[in-house]
Chains A and B, each alone.
Chain A
Amino acid sequence: MDTRIFQRSQETGNSDDISHVTTDVKDLIVEKIYEKAESISRKAVRYEGFRESLDKKIDLLLTSKVTGILFMLLLLGVIFWLTLVGANYPSRILAKILFGIQGFLESFLVSIGAPEWVNGFLITGMYKTMAWVVSVMLPPMAIFFPLFTFLEDLGYLPRVAFNLDYFFKRSGTHGKQALTMSMGFGCNAAGVVSCRIIDSPRERIIAILTNNFVPCNGRFPTLMLLASLFIGGLAPDLGWLLAPIAVSGLVVFGVFTTLVVSKLLASTLLKGLPSSFILELPPYRPPHIGGIIIRSIYERTLFVLGRAVAVAAPAGGIIWLLANIKLGNQSLLAQAAAFLDPLGRLVGLDGYILMAFIAGLPANEIVLPILLMGYLAQGSMISPDNFAGLKDLLISNGWTILTAINTMLFSLLHFPCATTLWTIRCETGKARWAIFAAVLTTTVALLVCFIIASLYRLVVWAIL
């Protein structure tokens, strides 16, 4: 630090060109203040019969640079493992029951002489989509939500923010973004609203725009299902280990993307210095198990499920109509898929997958059911009432491991759902930020998928 530097700041009145210097000076000032506070309190404060609380000892382990991050990753893996393993069996049972009822309903409609199209619209369209959403989503949510609420109650989430603060600071954004990001795991719309806790408008916009890069509950089931079918299916003996690792890997990749895109925004469009904040680590509290179950099941699981069903049923009906209304000799659905197919193929997906994501704009939960209906409407006779059948259906439609990976990545990175977009508009007060969020995320999604697809093709070409 020499006088030349601050003279320059006086002349130009612009801190941009000295930002690296000023950050250092600010750090130095804060550091000196902390040093002095520490030295004074060492002299003036006496501890007698005082012992470090258990909280503090645990925090030393859970918030240290190395063990804190390791523990976080391990915890993430364990949660997904518990969810995947635990959800598998009840999912099968639910599917069996719900698709069993489908048979009853169909024969009932036939017996009262309902026309073919009523049967198709109500059963194949609405009921089947709904049954899918329930059987695929309910069990993982019923396990994942209580676990997540448990950590929340325990007071672990502020520690996560603490651990991630360093990375966000490096990205030129606010450490509180770690908290808003964590909220996004529940629901991105809620995550966007929670960005209010960030005071600086610049950093708040960054947090809002990048919140969608962590998977919400609407997308977790898709990720988990595809991971257990395709990644877990790579090695049957190790499937129980590979699938949770794959989902954790995706989450870590989502966080990584959040940081990279934040950094890009912070150094281009939304320039500025990161502001510091003080996060008080609350004491750990023993969670109330009863309260957790009530809150996570009623307020989260059933709420999300209800919303999903409410969207899935009509969407299923509409998709059935699209699949069965013919224009020329092709259905509307097939035409739309054919239109999107070149772009889909380019990024390692296909037209039906892209269309399912577009049709899933109201809620991400219905992407997979819509996709399946699209494939089934093509005339495939497989009825995916079990998971092996589902995998066969996908493979018979040209799915490879690349398709699975890229579908998961696209799900992770693509445009936010309609609710989240609307929330972004409300929170920023400008529609252009919502549009920008959709364009930004979709561009990232297409780019990442294209790179993965190209690498995959390169490897396949090199091997053959």
Chain B
Amino acid sequence: MDFLLEDSFPRPLVALAGNPNTGKSTIFNALTGMKQHTGNWPGKTVSLARGTFYHKNVRFNIVDLPGTYSLLANSLEEQVARNFILFNRPDVMLVVTDATCLERNLNLVLQIMEITDRIIVCVNLIDEATKKGIYVDSDVLSEELGVPVVATAARRGIGLYELKEMILKVYSGEIKPSPRKVNYGEELEKAIGELVPRLEKTFSDGINPRWLALNIISGDYSIEDIKKLIKVRDKNRGGNAYGYSYFSTVPRNRELR
């Protein structure tokens, strides 16, 4: 398959997600400096910027995912971001949020929390928020989400060292985030609870069973879809276990097929 850009992503892998216009790219640039390059999707204009940075002698690989408001996979950007988190399972998931409109940004954070545990929330643009009279309490936010929170003003370089520290700590396991997941109400949680053990049996490795259960219940995927996904993944095992080929073969919403 000639459209494979890279066989696999070197580890440790940090992925950067967030709403558009949250300063995600500023943070990416601040972390990587000039050590980055961009790969384009075959045929489409979704690009992934990639780079590296060192912190305390650990070489981190970082990928800048497309800016999205959600992961419900309605657009190609959302699909790419979601599948990356789902299949490449980054070692540290960094979600950048905008302090001036945190509520809207939290929707994405909560959705990512369904897929992976190793999350750090970066509250960016705190300088602009202060100017507008908006103050975000990182400790309360961290407590409520169950994941570490770092406040930054990336354009002025504020909070970047703390951010790198946190990435290292989460990677090394010194800090273990335990996301407090959304409770979808008694009925739905019961349904998820019944489905998860069976999914764990069927799909013993890889995809987060709770996320799978949610998507099966909401009708985005059927068991057949998931099996197809697994097959694709297994085919790509070995040489290119983390290849890009997933993105082009994973079906989108059911309606599109």
Contact = CB atoms under 8 A, between A and B. Distances in A.
Nearest to B75: A199
B191 A6 contact: yes
A430 interface: no
A257 interface: no
B182 A33 contact: yes
A2 B144 contact: no
Contacts of B216: 6, 9-10
A200 B256 contact: yes
B223 A275 contact: no
A44 B110 contact: no
A46 interface: yes
A26 interface: yes
Select the residue from A41, A202, A273 with max chain B CB neighbours within 10 A: A41
B214 to A, nearest CB: 7
Interface string B134-146: 1111101100110
Contact of B136 (A45, A199, A202): A45
A200 to B, nearest CB: 6
Contacts of A28: 184-185, 188
A32 interface: yes
A2 B218 contact: no
Contacts of A1: 187-188, 191, 217
Given A33-B182, A202-B255, A48 B111 contact: no
Contact of B223 (A13, A32, A47): A13
Interface residues of A, number: 48
Interface string A434-449: 0000000000000000
Contacts of A33: 107, 110-111, 182
A464 interface: no
A275 B218 CA distance: 13
Contacts, number: 136
B67 to A, nearest CB: 11
Contacts of A199: 74-76
Contacts of B184: 28-29, 32
A68 B78 CA distance: 30
Nearest to A48: B133
A6 B136 CA distance: 40
Interface string A36-55: 11101101111111110000
Contacts of A51: 133
B205 interface: no
A275 B255 CA distance: 9
B218 A25 contact: yes
A15 B219 contact: yes
Given A22-B219, A199-B75, A202-B256, A36 B182 contact: yes
B74 A200 contact: yes
A46 B253 contact: no
A390 B109 CA distance: 65
Contacts of B135: 45-48
B72 interface: yes
Nearest to B78: A199
Contact of B222 (A2, A9, A37, A48): A9
Contacts of A48: 133, 135
B194 interface: yes
B77 to A, nearest CB: 9
B253 A13 contact: no
A43 to B, nearest CB: 5
Contacts of B141: 40, 44
A275 B74 contact: yes
A276 interface: yes
B224 A13 contact: yes
Contacts of A3: 190-191, 194
Given A41-B103, A272-B255, A13 B222 contact: yes
Nearest to B103: A41
B191 to A, nearest CB: 6
Contacts of B72: 30, 275-276
A10 B223 contact: yes
A310 B42 CA distance: 42
B132 interface: yes
A34 interface: yes
A44 B111 CA distance: 19
B255 A37 contact: no
A443 to B, nearest CB: 26
Contacts of A23: 219
B137 A37 contact: no
A18 B219 contact: yes
Given A37-B110, A46-B137, A25 B74 contact: no
A41 B69 contact: no
B218 A45 contact: no
B103 A37 contact: yes
A249 interface: no
B195 interface: yes
Contacts of B110: 33, 36-37
Interface in B91-110: 102-104, 106-107, 109-110
B76 A50 contact: no
B254 interface: yes
A49 B133 contact: yes
A38 B134 contact: no
B253 A200 contact: yes
B190 to A, nearest CB: 8
Contact of B106 (A25, A41, A275): A41
Contact of B107 (A2, A10, A19, A37): A37
A43 B142 CA distance: 11
A26 B216 CA distance: 11
A303 interface: no
A44 B219 contact: no
A201 B191 contact: no
Interface of B: 69-70, 72, 74-76, 102-104, 106-107, 109-111, 132-138, 140-141, 144-145, 182-185, 187-188, 190-191, 194-195, 214, 216-220, 222-225, 253-256
16 contacts: A1-B187, A2-B187, A3-B191, A13-B224, A19-B219, A25-B188, A25-B218, A25-B219, A33-B110, A37-B104, A37-B109, A46-B137, A49-B133, A273-B254, A275-B253, A276-B74
Please give me the 6 A-B residue pairs with the lowest Cβ-Cβ distance, nearest first. Answer: A22-B219, A272-B255, A50-B133, A37-B106, A13-B222, A41-B103
Given A15-B254, A37-B104, A200-B74, 17 more contacts: A1-B191, A6-B191, A6-B195, A13-B222, A22-B219, A28-B188, A29-B184, A32-B185, A36-B106, A40-B141, A45-B137, A48-B135, A199-B74, A202-B256, A275-B74, A275-B255, A278-B69
